[in-house]
Structure 1
Amino acid sequence: MRYIFLTEVCGNRNNNREREFFSPGYFNFLFMSWIKKIFLLFVFLSGSLAFAQNSTVSGIVFEDLNENGKLDSNEVGVEGVGVSSLSGIVETDSRGGFKLEICKNDIVFVIKPSGYHFHLNEYNIPKYFEQIYPQGSPKSLNYAGIRPTLPKDTLLFPLIPSDTQSGFRVNMVADPQMPRKREVWFFRETIIPSLLTANSEVTIFLGDIADNNLDVFPHFMGSLKALENPVYAVFGNHDVNYRSPDNSLKAETFRSWFGPDYYAFNYGNTHFVALNTVDYFGWNDEYKKKGSYFGGIDSTQLQWLEQDLALVDENFRIVLLTHIPLHPDYFKKQDLKKIFSLLEDRREVTIVSGHLHQNKSWAYGPELYWNGKSQLRSVIAGSASGSWWSGPYASDSIPQATCVDGSPQGFYQYAFRDDGFNYRFVPAQKKEDYQLRISSPHRIVKYNPEKPHRVVVNVFSGDERCSVKFSIDGGTFTGMKQFTGVDPFVERTHFRRINGDNWSPGISQTDHLWEGELPLKLEPGIHTIKSVVGFPDGKKYSATTQFELVDDGQ
């Protein structure tokens, strides 16, 4: 007897062919295959249902002395280590053991204690978490999430002993924002070399790794293989799986690559807390498009933050890592107040964010809802993509990507010590001492005896604590005044700033500008102008340029 079965070949439903076989052998084979599949499905579903009814996992955090990733007979557990789900935290007992209640789909992760480090995966992401998703992420999302994953009988988290760092450096990289593989190559050719040169113990990406197209994640991950330190990532608004119907599923794809979208870890006497500050309103069914968002934090994450901070030594410094800045212009006021209320008694707190594609820094006070006993400052750590990878383009087609405030693309490096910290801006495609630009005067300046020409200096990571001065032709230095405005360099070059989508970014005002005036008695001719900036940590940088003063009346 001859039977015909329609089969799909290479995913093409129309590419069907005939199969010939003899009964009953083929039917016996087919029957046993289906029995096996049904049995495996039954086992999996039984495990899923049983797990849904008993949502407790257990495990051990241990010292991995021989660094083989296994719990050997001579290795012991580590007491007092925080182990967390996305909703609650417990501490390990005297043997390093823990039991933790978790939700149906959850992630279990360890809050790294000082004096230890994790094993890294092939992309240098620390192996500090286990995804437990019995049913996997919903298939309705436009980008794949986490595959169905049942919990292991015992979760094992190895910690490798290391020296407790009294001094260490962290590279903070904001907004690579790559919409496709083309921009991933720009990232590899501009930011990765700078990261390799600016050595650090940790690299943290402050969100917007993607630009809505989450298919760039695997290409981005490949870029991280060159880095020789642990890499953490913060969730950004352009990392949202935008077909999520609400706020609960927005980070499913991000979690599949990077782990939890909020977490904490310790280095030395510093406690880092990464928060998910994107409040996503869900897919817009009416207009069939990506939904809106604003800065905020939900009640579950806020409760988690409260639990986390309660376990932190009162003498530790707190560093909040966010994508959307904790500022009422970008963040819900009531959520901002709740976060700050948990930090008011801390001896030292600082915030590092991205999102704005510029360098910016400000101090908090009561007008920004901060009433803590310590000074609080926030830094926007520039942008790796600058103004969204816009031109002008170099000879090898790499965009200059100047940020909207006139600063070059780049990132920040923080240097932490027991008694404090400082940071510096690291420009990409430039020398490391390129920290300021004399934006005006520019080339030809017309002499005006009644109106002196303005001198404008852009100090890329400057703030009100900096001192800036300039001199003409090696003469006496004159102090400059900080002001808020538009960098003249951005104004005169804006017409060239077009990216791969034929889109041009806007022009943004900035407060890291300083101004002065050229002397009225300056003689016509070519002159050299020099500007020097002094930063709060004592470092000084300078810039020099020339201009020609012409007198049309001669």
Structure 2
Amino acid sequence: MLNRRNFLKNVGVTGSLLALPAVITNAAPLLSGNNIDLSTISLKGKVHCEGKGLAGVPVTDGINITLTDKNGAYALQSNGTAEFVYISVPRGYAFPEEGSIAFFYHSIPKNKPSFTADFKLEKLKADDTRHTFVVWADPQMKSQKDVDQLLKESVPDLQGVIKSYPKDALIHGIGCGDLVWDEFELYHGYRRAVELCGIPFFNVIGNHDMDNEARTDDGSANTFKSHFGPTYYSYNRGEVHYIVLDDVFFLGEAKNYIGYLTEHQLQWLDQDLAQVKPGSMIVLSLHIPTYTGQARREGKKDEPGGGTVANRKKLYKMLAPYKVHIMSGHTHFNDNWEEGDIMEHNHGTVCGAWWTGPICSDGTPGGYGIYDVDGTDIKWVYKSTGLPKEKQLRIYEKGRVQTAPDEISANVWNWDKKWKVEWLEDGVNKGEMERRVSFDPWAVELYLGPELPKKHKFVEPSLTDHMFFAKPSGTAKKITVRATDRFGNVYEESI
């Protein structure tokens, strides 16, 4: 997987303007206790398995990346702005964890000239070319009642999925942001949930995981970091290189943010990608989607500022040499788009409509994504909480959509352009259904109106691209909708 270029071993000294030499930092006395700490610190240590050093493992302080030498040792010149030293776990090794939270980092102590941090890895017993990951977007718990619902509904559902795989199957989770809803004391509920699931979870920061009292973006992730470590990092499993980024840029006031990737991260990402062979498969996770069809569906020229990543085209350019799947959350609807070698999966949420109803604003049931990996081949399904994996659409009787009184409709929530959606009238295939931008009628019934829903009145239905329509004859007795996904799986519902 890794193209271990020896020149990168030197990047730790030369790769960042922030890594200033000691002669500069000692040039004049400090004027106050609030100065940025640019004092140098030497990071060193060893990455090993059963006492044997592992060569070529990337080690970073979040600024620069170096590689371990033939003995597994590393040395990285850093400075007082660095918070963590951490590794990109190589393929073939178990993910270090504490209580099912991925633990691949050490916190760098302040006011020390040097810090030694070793990383102990465990060799996997099975080949990891084939593995699975799940994406939990937006658990977003506001109260203990929400935590209880997560533990009562979402956890048993994922436990059931895990049990459906062979006992030695390699499965990990990605918590795709908004792990709580500003109530940081509820992180205990999220941590308890993933621990009960029993698989290692890597975690993404969301806009509701930020410290709203911070005065700038720089301090907005302090609480999240105290629980989950760095907000951007990478790891490897099988032939896939996984990357996590922080794309929530805090503007200094509560609920005021944009989707944006800082130069600090992109500089680090340049170094990370330099180790990955062009043509490789990359899975990149972030909270705010890089792009969705929301603005187009609503007839607007521009995407909302906090709804997508402002500098996404710069990211796409960096990712151009690779095959990429982007995992995102945030929107509380399900949306897939694909262009060239990049595909984004904007997931429906674990909490549905903020724990208000069983479906998201577009009619997608509350749930999560399941991705099965075989080499560089990835197949996926959206798993609705409390429903069988085979449940992939919902059919509505004629007139349920008020703007289409003579038509039956169907919501095929994980649709993308490689699906085929047909309809049959009394067993006779009538061809493909017409796809139109529309509201899901159940979402309208649950969430539209000044008194609805009772729990969170801000929740409203959203327009979606995955509603399909057909006009049956007046004598029709049975209508069947048949949806075939890009992998040839067939799902049917009848009315």
TM-score over 0.5 for the alignment? yes
Tell me if structure 1 keeps the 8 A contact 2:400–2:408.
no
**Which has the larger displacement, 197-206 or 534-543?**
197-206
Q: Residue 173 and residue 502 in structure 1: after superposition, are their counterparts in 2 closer, same or farther (change >3 A)?
A: closer
Contact 2:225 2:231 in 1 (8 A): yes
**Letter paired with 1:161:** K
Q: How does 1:134-533 map to 2 (within 5 A)?
A: 134=110, 153-162=115-124, 163-199=126-162, 201-283=171-253, 290=254, 292-327=256-291, 329=303, 330-333=307-310, 335-346=311-322, 348-364=323-339, 374-391=340-357, 400=358, 402-441=359-398, 453-494=406-447, 501-519=455-473, 521-522=474-475, 527-533=477-483
**In structure 2, what is the equivalent of residue 83 of structure 1?**
59
**Distance of aligned partners of 1:500 and 1:268 in 2 relative to their CA distance in 1, 3 Å threshold:** farther
User: Partners in 2 of 1:488 and 1:443 — Cα distance?
Assistant: 6
| TM-score, normalization by structure 1 | 0.74
User: Relative to 1, partners in 2 of residues 1:54 and 1:103: Cα closer, same or farther, differing over 3 Å?
Assistant: closer
Structure 1: unaligned runs, 5 residues or longer: 1-48, 65-74, 136-149, 284-289, 365-373, 392-399, 446-450, 546-554
Contact 1:269 1:315 in 2 (8 A): no
Q: CA deviation at 1:452?
A: 7.6
Which amino acid is the alignment partner of residue 217 of structure 1?
Y
Q: 1:337 to 1:452 in 2, by over 3 A?
A: closer
| Distance across 1 between alignment mates of 2:238 and 2:374 | 8
Change (3 A) 1:225 1:152: farther
Question: What SS class does the counterpart of residue 118 from structure 2 fall into?
Answer: strand
1:434 is paired with a residue of what secondary structure? coil
Deviations 1:176-210 (A, max 9, x none): 11012210111111211121122261111100011
SS at match of 2:395: strand
1:101 Cα offset (Å): 2.7
Bigger relative contact order (CA 8 A; separation at least 6): 2
Query: Are 1:63 and 1:77, in contact at CA under 8 Å, matched by a contact in 2?
Result: yes
8 Å CA contact retained: 1:89, 1:304: yes
| 1:385 Cα deviation after fit | 0.5
Task: Give the match's secondary structure for 1:282.
Answer: strand
Q: Is the 8 A contact 2:43 2:76 kept in 1?
A: yes
Deviations 1:378-432 (A, max 9, x none): 11121001111113xxxxxxxx2x1000111000001111241111000002222
Q: Any idea what SS the aligned residue of 1:305 has? A: helix
Deviation at 1:316, TM superposition (A): 2.3
Q: How far, CA to CA, are the matches of 1:482 and 1:221 in structure 2?
A: 40
Letter in 1 for 2:147: V
RMSD (Å), alpha carbons: 2.4
The 1-side partners of 2:454 and 2:152 are apart by 16
Instruction: Work out the CA distance in 2 between the residues paired with 1:317 and 1:172.
Output: 17
* 1:120 counterpart = 2:97: yes
1:98 Cα deviation after fit: 0.7
Return the alpha-carbon distance in structure 2 between the equivalents of residues 264 and 151 of structure 1.
Answer: 27
Q: Percentage identity across aligned positions?
A: 27
Q: In 1, are the aligned partners of 2:320 and 2:341 still within 8 Å (CA)? A: no
**Matched residues in 1 for 2:421 and 2:374: separation?**
27
Contact between 1:452 and 1:517, CA under 8 Å: does it hold in 2? no
Query: Structure 1, residues 141-194: CA drift from partner, whole Å, max 9, x if none?
Result: xxxxxxxxx798521101111144121110011011101221011111121112
